[in-house]
């Protein structure tokens, strides 16, 4: 992020498309039937890139319908994603001629391009093998993956542009990347209507749930882990029995050598790959200690559960920053993209300090991921909720500038948010949400949380302006509900990014908050700000509706409230 500056088959699916997000005209008003032939000129009106869409879609098939164009756009997207990957690899092959900043930005792009191919393969499988209308869960997954494609491409572009001062940007790469982003936007618009109106789903049966009690796991021991149990009395390998969730394996990380590993990265490297939720978690118990290492959990390392000995007892720390030559994306102390990740009782820290600008403690791009009773500590850009679906419960988040940022669909529930003392010329902004396309199902929801000054800010006797957020990208989306806001919040509530950028297109909302900083009478008057939304609208950003959390959170054992508090 920028530094703070002052100034198929035509019968497979019942598909309805949105004609225009901005004017809210249903595409069904245009088509006589969702399976009827339609021209590219007509269907492209439902996308943000009309001219580009019309140029890309085939014009020589007079019988093509909505679904046919959707299938085509996915195939085209996959083909282009592979070309992008090849271009990035080719550019990196001449890395000796590039600055370290450019190389790191390209390495980020390589990582993200590989993720995009995986997402497109998964999406293609969903849309080509289903013979009936997608279920709510299937449709939400498709839209989530297509939303993440855009986020990944935009992250790559942002990184390359940030590195451009130290590198002559090659249009041979940037132009395909820009087209890549547009094509993903077309695909997302074409498939948005597959997502039915989200409904609260019933929770999983109790026998599949794992209940944390006072931050501890009531795990049932197997005989194989008797020795582990005797050493770590509250950590045991689970079997699939009533009131317990399945854990497939357990390893212990200790710094004194008596566990399985002496560092976290080694324990992660030993995790099985491409598992799924039915086979159980790979549980890593991290004993108390200060772990000075950079941990990365890859896309194939799924359903890993990490449990520490508590906030400020098990601490993972690093100090990478933009000032020291890292990109924002690769500055995290801890990064995860493996689906189904769960972390409990751990502090994640970046100690670079405010003078080093962007310095991330955690970057999370893991779908269906959960952090419970964890602490995130840094200054600018502390917690990068990069993409996909995420949930945080009873966590502490410390920072200064844009310290909760990214473009995930994320809910923070019962968390403590602590703005810290920034540099003398800075103000505090809690959120900087990065939605770039109106069809993405992303946003930041802060529910039943507490916002108070951190100790350094509270004791400083310095007047620091602190805002709830600012629009990093054009469709920035953030809502605060049922949260306590102390007096440090500026009466305006929200800060602009640059001039009038995104003030009309963003969506910022507050609902039933409390505390001296929650008074909305002096709030900004931007068209994108809403200070009196209905409970129905607020419900759209709750765990059960926004994340469809009732379908996956019970298996984590983490407590949560599905609807409004």
Q: Is 402 a catalytic residue?
A: yes
- Taking the C-alpha atoms of residue 256 and residue 480, their distance in angstroms, rounded to an integer, is 44
- Taking the C-alpha atoms of residue 141 and residue 139, their distance in angstroms, rounded to an integer, is 5
Hey, what are 76's tokens? 């085209």
Label the pairing between strands 18-20 and 25-26: antiparallel
Cβ neighbourhood burial of 214 (10 Å; 0-12, 13-18, 19+): exposed
The values of phi and psi at residue 450, to 5°, are -120, 130
Instruction: Given the residues 158, 180, 396, 402, select the one marked as catalytic.
Output: 402
The 3 state secondary structure assigned to 184-204 is: HHHHHHHHHHHCCCCCCCCCC
> DSSP letter string over 266-333?
HHHHTS-SS--GGG-EEEEEE-SEEEE--EEE-TT--SEEEEES-TTTEEEEE---TTTT--STT--S
Of 184, 213, 177, 192, the closest CA to residue 78 belongs to: 184
3-state DSSP assignment of residue 20: strand
Contact 201, 544 (CB under 8 A): yes
Contact 322, 358 (CB under 8 A): yes
Contact 149, 181 (CB under 8 A): no
Q: Which residues are catalytic?
A: 402
């Amino acid at each position: 992020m920028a530094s703070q500056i002052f100034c198929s088959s035509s019968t497979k699916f019942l598909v309805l498309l949105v004609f225009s997000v901005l004017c809210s005209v249903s595409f069904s008003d245009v088509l006589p039937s969702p399976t009827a032939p339609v021209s590219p000129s007509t269907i492209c009106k439902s996308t943000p890139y009309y001219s580009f869409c019309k140029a890309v879609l085939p014009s020589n098939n007079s019988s093509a319908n909505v679904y046919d164009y959707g299938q085509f756009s996915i195939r085209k997207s996959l083909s282009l994603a592979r070309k992008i990957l090849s271009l990035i690899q080719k550019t990196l092959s001449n890395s000796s001629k590039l600055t370290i900043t450019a190389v790191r930005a390209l390495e980020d792009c390589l990582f993200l391009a590989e993720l995009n191919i995986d997402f497109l393969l998964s999406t293609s499988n969903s849309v080509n093998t289903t013979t009936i209308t997608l279920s709510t869960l299937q449709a939400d997954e498709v839209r989530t993956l297509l939303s993440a494609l855009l986020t990944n491409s935009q992250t790559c572009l942002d990184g390359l542009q940030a590195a451009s001062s130290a590198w002559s940007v090659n249009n041979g790469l940037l132009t395909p990347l820009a087209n890549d982003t547009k094509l993903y936007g077309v695909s997302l618009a074409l498939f948005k209507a597959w997502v039915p109106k989200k409904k609260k789903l019933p929770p999983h049966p109790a026998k599949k749930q794992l209940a944390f009690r006072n931050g501890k796991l009531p795990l049932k021991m197997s005989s194989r882990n008797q020795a582990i149990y005797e050493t770590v009395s509250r950590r045991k390998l689970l079997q699939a029995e009533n009131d317990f969730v399945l854990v497939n394996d357990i390893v212990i990380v200790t710094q004194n050598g008596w566990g399985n590993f002496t560092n976290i990265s080694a324990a992660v490297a030993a995790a099985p790959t491409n598992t799924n939720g039915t086979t159980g978690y790979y549980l890593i118990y991290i004993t108390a200690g200060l772990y000075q290492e950079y941990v990365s959990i890859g896309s194939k390392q799924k359903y890993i559960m990490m449990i520490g000995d508590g906030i400020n007892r098990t601490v993972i720390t690093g100090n990478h920053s933009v000032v020291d030559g890292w990109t924002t994306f690769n500055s995290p102390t801890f990064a995860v993209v493996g689906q189904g990740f769960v972390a409990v009782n751990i502090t994640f820290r970046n100690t670079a300090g405010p003078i080093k600008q962007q310095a991330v403690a955690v970057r999370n791009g893991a779908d269906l991921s959960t952090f419970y009773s964890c602490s995130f500590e840094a200054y600018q850009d502390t917690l990068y909720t990069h993409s996909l679906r995420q949930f945080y419960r009873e966590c502490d988040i410390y920072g200064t500038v844009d310290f909760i940022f990214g473009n995930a669909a994320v809910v923070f529930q019962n968390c403590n948010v602590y703005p810290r003392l920034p540099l003398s010329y800075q103000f505090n902004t809690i959120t900087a949400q990065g939605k770039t396309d109106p069809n993405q199902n992303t946003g930041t929801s802060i529910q039943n949380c507490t916002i108070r000054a951190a100790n350094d800010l509270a004791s400083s006797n310095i007047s620091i302006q602190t805002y709830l957020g600012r629009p990093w990208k054009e469709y920035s989306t953030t809502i605060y509900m049922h949260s306590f806001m102390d007096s440090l919040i500026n009466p305006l509530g929200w800060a602009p990014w640059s001039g009038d950028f995104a003030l009309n297109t963003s969506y910022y909302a507050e609902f039933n908050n409390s505390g001296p900083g929650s008074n909305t009478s002096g709030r900004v008057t931007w068209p994108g700000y809403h200070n009196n939304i209905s409970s129905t609208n607020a419900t759209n950003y709750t765990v059960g509706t926004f994340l469809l959390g009732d379908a996956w959170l019970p298996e984590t054992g983490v407590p949560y409230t599905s609807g409004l508090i």
